[in-house]
Amino acid sequence: MSLIRQSFVALPDAENQWNRFEQLIHCDYQDFFNGEGPIAGARAPGRLDVMGGVADYSGSIVLEMPIAQATFASWQWRSDRNLRIRSIGIGAEGLSPEVVISLDEMVDTSGIVRPIDEVRDRLSGDASTHWASYVAGCFYVMLAAHSKVAGGTVHERIGEIGANILIQSDVPLGAGVSSSAALEVSIMMALSEASGIHPSDLTLAAWCQRVENLIVGSPCGIMDQVTSALGIENSLTVLKCQPHDLLGAQPIPSGWKFVGIDSRVKHKVSGSHYTKARVGAFMGLKIIQLESGGKLLENYLCEMSPAEFRDYKHFLPESITGAEYERLYGFLPDTITKVDASQTYHPLGCAEHPILENDRAKQFVAIMHMANLHPEEDYSSSSLRPYYGPPDALMLREAGELMYEAHASYSDRLDLGSRETDILVDLIRDRGEECGLYGAKITGGGSGGTVAVLCREDTELAETALIEICEKYSHETGITPRAIIGSSPGAVSFGARHILRG
């Protein structure tokens, strides 16, 4: 069986995946856990961005599916002051598989938690060990939050001893399916169980985002962490990112299926294109706030409808240098990114994309809701959107067109497309409905990564077509793609576990 066809084989369910991880600890890693206490563990999935994507930082509604691939983390306290962190299999990525970080990097000699900027600098390290800053960052964020009630000093409950931390993940790195959030959430869940410090579910997700923004230095929104923590199997997490208003989970309709195709072109949320798109969006927000005579929009562009934006878009330049922006408009209303005076930005396109994407996401979830209604329901009486005629193909078609529109906007407005993902989307569109394929779009931060595909679930035709598309893509690009199929529960519903050593 070819590597492409192998990637279309479904993974075991979450419980069986967990049992395999637990067995690995019992059989192969008993010596690693040389502390005296119990081992706490957790599992957190990656996510497939169906709609919303980079509009999250502008306050959009996003629709995210927790995928079958997940990260597993285990945590055991030890008697010294070292965090001993090992990631199984990460050496294949050219990274150091084990990193030791002293608590002294996060706590000074007086027992006071160090400032976050200092900790970020101390944890930056070299490229081969930088991955461990996600793990140590989770410890630091919880440590800092817990120490606030004690005037900044650490407490014996957390911050005075180190830990053995073992990680295994099958969420592909750089594929745009949020391997970083899966790592952060699994670590934070395991640490929470080990320490007995239990934040609310949304606070846990927000702490993980804080790790990424302020420790690692990636300007991501919160949709990845919320989905990894709170996602529901076979449903799309519906999140209004203002900052994290969880609207519920929309079940995937019968006959619908979402599949990811990893282009194997790695993307980075911390990359320059993503950062420029985010800065451009916040430039657009600030210009509208100033030029409209005080329209504050609660600091979220997506408070504007597309119709309302049309009345204000003439204020926005298609391009502007960072230096010119700062001269005319001053500071950027974003706490995560900064304007680079030497760069050229595109406020019009970068502001228009999230406003249109928010509208597309609303339409998409309305279509899914209608598709889940019983056949005897009177669609025309719905306050969401009326449909007349057979809903099955019609709704798939309309949802798919919204995905194609979103994909085009990534390139046209944000400069976050890529040749390889365009090839995949074009191949999917060419095969089309006759093969059970209805829509496709680049996901997450763009510039490579994974393409999300909407297809029919109840036919082998779609899977056969996707395999053939992947084979043609491989022939055209020389890159072997892989499928990301299936869904699984988020970390909170799966729950933290205690691992008993044999």
- Asked whether the predicted pLDDT for residue 389 surpasses 70, the reply is no
Phi, psi for 74 (deg, rounded to 5): -135, 145
Higher pLDDT, 151 or 50: 50
ω into 243 cis (within 30 of 0): yes
Answer whether residue 250 is part of any domain: no
The CA-based angle 325-329-332, given to 5 degrees, is 80
Nearest CA among 3, 18, 187 for reference residue 87 = 187
> Where in the sequence is the domain holding 288, given as residue range(s)?
272-349
Answer whether residue 64 is part of any domain: no
pLDDT grade for 295, boundaries at 50, 70 and 90? confident
Alpha-helix residue ranges (DSSP H) falling in 211-336: 223-230, 272-291, 306-310, 322-329
Residues paired with residue 321 on neighbouring β-strands, in sequence order:
344
The percent of residues above 90 in pLDDT, for the chain, comes to 78
Say if strands 256-262 and 163-169 run parallel, antiparallel, or are unpaired.
Answer: unpaired
Do 304 and 263 lie in a common domain?
Answer: no
Answer whether residue 377 is part of any domain: yes
Does pTM surpass 0.85? yes
- Asked whether the predicted pLDDT for residue 480 surpasses 90, the reply is yes
Do 233 and 381 lie in a common domain?
Answer: no
Lowest-pLDDT range, 78-82, 201-205, 370-374?
A: 370-374
Overall average pLDDT of the 91-119 stretch? 92
Q: How far apart are CA 99 and CA 139, in angstroms?
A: 15
Q: What confidence score (pLDDT) does residue 385 get?
A: 45
Do 374 and 458 lie in a common domain?
Answer: yes
E-strand ranges in 52-204 read: 61-77, 82-88, 98-102, 163-169
Q: Tell me the DSSP string of 187-244.
A: HHHHHHHHHT----HHHHHHHHHHIIIIII-----SHHHHHHHH--TTEEEEEETTTT
- Asked whether the predicted pLDDT for residue 390 surpasses 90, the reply is no
Do 316 and 381 lie in a common domain?
Answer: no
Q: How far apart are CA 44 and CA 491, in angstroms?
A: 5
Do 108 and 205 lie in a common domain?
Answer: yes
Overall average pLDDT of the 190-200 stretch? 94
Answer whether residue 163 is part of any domain: yes
Do 22 and 40 lie in a common domain?
Answer: yes
- Asked whether the predicted pLDDT for residue 388 surpasses 60, the reply is no
Catalytic residue list contains 224 = yes
Q: How far apart are CA 397 and CA 132, in angstroms?
A: 43
Which residues lie closer than 8 Å to 383 by C-beta, 6 or more apart? none
Do 306 and 398 lie in a common domain?
Answer: no
Do 218 and 309 lie in a common domain?
Answer: no
> 224, 262, 334, 359: which one is catalytic?
224
End-of-domain residue from the set 332, 349, 366: 349
pLDDT grade for 203, boundaries at 50, 70 and 90? very high
Do 360 and 320 lie in a common domain?
Answer: no
pLDDT grade for 111, boundaries at 50, 70 and 90? confident
Answer whether residue 65 is part of any domain: no
- Asked whether the predicted pLDDT for residue 217 surpasses 70, the reply is yes
Q: What confidence score (pLDDT) does residue 82 get?
A: 95
Q: What confidence score (pLDDT) does residue 269 get?
A: 55
Give whole-number Cα distances, 33 to 22, 86, 185, 442, 502, in Å. 13, 11, 21, 41, 12
Burial class (CB in 10 A: 0-12, 13-18, 19+), 110: exposed
- Asked whether the predicted pLDDT for residue 460 surpasses 90, the reply is no
Do 132 and 222 lie in a common domain?
Answer: yes
Answer whether residue 395 is part of any domain: yes
- Asked whether the predicted pLDDT for residue 147 surpasses 70, the reply is yes
Overall average pLDDT of the 475-497 stretch? 96
Nearest CA among 71, 94, 98, 70 for reference residue 164 = 98
226-280 pLDDT, tens digit per residue, is 999 999 999 999 999 998 899 999 999 999 999 999 999 986 555 589 999 999 9
Higher pLDDT, 378 or 79: 79
Q: How far apart are CA 484 and CA 456, in angstroms?
A: 16
Residues 150-178 as b or e (16 or more Cβ within 10 Å = b):
eebebeeebbebbbbbbbbbbbbebbbbb
Answer whether residue 466 is part of any domain: yes
Q: What confidence score (pLDDT) does residue 149 get?
A: 66
Answer whether residue 1 is part of any domain: no
Query: The domain spanning residue 438 has which CATH number?
Result: 3.30.70.890
Q: How far apart are CA 260 and CA 407, in angstroms?
A: 14
Do 341 and 401 lie in a common domain?
Answer: no
**Total domains, the chain:** 3
End-of-domain residue from the set 292, 325, 349: 349
Do 342 and 436 lie in a common domain?
Answer: no
The percent of residues above 70 in pLDDT, for the chain, comes to 94
Q: How far apart are CA 408 and CA 421, in angstroms?
A: 11
Query: The domain spanning residue 214 has which CATH number?
Result: 3.30.230.10
Question: What six digits make up the tokens of 481?
Answer: 């793609």
Task: Share the mean pLDDT of the chain.
Answer: 91
